[in-house]
Structure 1
């Protein structure tokens, strides 16, 4: 258990240049605290204590500003930087070395008790205020830009941005010559 705690502190020190010491991370990083308390809540849920798990999850949200459902799955070295407003839904799955910034939502799109939240594979980074909705997969090493709205799968290693999110370099509009409202100059 203590190895995991040390690993989380090292992850914060590695990912955040503002972190100056392990003591500072342990005492002042709400994203780290949220992950630690999530692990306790998840154990409670898996141990047959769903109400206690949800109460702890709620208290964690009050204390840290980060809401992680105890039914979610988090890998190792998940780092939530400036965590305020982060929401991780019940069926979300986060791989190892995932980094989330403030305001990220991993939301569901169904009221049914099915897989309805995103899966983030290893090494994914999600920028501030990005919203990912539904049973989608963000592939290994992908990056989601700040403020992006993602409702479709993201290929491994791809960077997406915008609303709706598209790979960087891919235009949301067709070129003017292919725009449906433009007439063909050869017609007349």
Structure 2
């Protein structure tokens, strides 16, 4: 038990630059306190003392503003940062080395008892502030969920999901240094340059339209030089890709 406590404290000090020492973590970090009390509540839950487990969970919610059902499975070195408003459901499974920020819900969408209703987080998953992960699917190892995203389907390992409903933005490039940097920072589950995929698609369409317009102008000029006339159409406003790109930023 004490080795797990030391491991959790060292993990928080390593991953949070605001943490100065072990005493501060023990007394001032509600995420640490919630996980320690969850282990106690889970022990009672697994030994068929379910009311005591739920009551400890209830008291933990009052003191930390973090609600973890005693039936949930929490791995090693899980860091709940700030933590206010975090809700983790009964059948949720959180893998080792995960990071969960404030306002996150790992919720269920089914009312059927005895079924897997809540999500499973693989190793090293980062869930950004305010994100909602709803359903009994898996978020793959090393995946990231952006702030305020609403995830209702599986996210592949190493992918980043943003938006409502969440869409896959990118996959990890496999560079070990980048993977470490992502785990150490990615402060709210959003990586630099991680634009909304819808916005990226619109930028691509605008750039493609601008390229086509330039090609058409060159073709018309070449035809005119060859003495081939083309029907004159009414003059339209000049296509301005820069202004359109600004509109969808």
Query: Compared with structure 1, are the counterparts of its residues 154 and 172 closer, same or farther at alpha carbon in structure 2 (3 Å cutoff)?
Result: farther
**Deviation readout 1:141-188 (Å, 9 max, x if unpaired):** 00000100000100000111110111226327965999xxxxxxxxxx
Which residue in 2 is equivalent to 1:183? Answer: none
Matches within 5 A, 1:17-96: 17-96=17-96
Q: Which residue of 2 aligns with 1:171?
A: 198
Unaligned runs of 5+ in 2: 170-195, 206-249
- Count of aligned positions: 178
2:12 aligned partner: 12
Taking the aligned partners of 1:177 and 1:40, their CA distance within structure 2 comes to 52
TM-score of the pair, normalised by structure 2: 0.69
CA distance change for structure 1 residues 101 and 176 in 2, over 3 Å: closer, same or farther?
closer
Aligned match of 1:97: 97
Q: Offset of 1:33 from its aligned partner?
A: 0.2
- 1:106 aligns to what SS in structure 2? strand
Distance 1:3 1:131 in 2: 32
**2:159 matched to 1:158?**
yes
Calculate the aligned-residue CA RMSD, in Å: 1.7
Per the normalisation by structure 1, the TM-score is: 0.91
- 1:26-82: CA deviations, max 9, x gaps? 110000000000000000000110000000000000000000000001110111000
The higher relative CO (CA closer than 8 Å, separation ≥ 6) is in: 1
CA 1:176/1:6 → structure 2, altered by over 3 Å: closer, same or farther?
A: closer
Provide the C-alpha distance between the structure 1 equivalents of 2:203 and 2:99, rounded to a whole number of angstroms: 38
CA contact (8 A) 1:166 1:172 kept: no
The corresponding residue for 1:109 is: 109
Structure 1 runs of 4+ with >6 Å offset: none
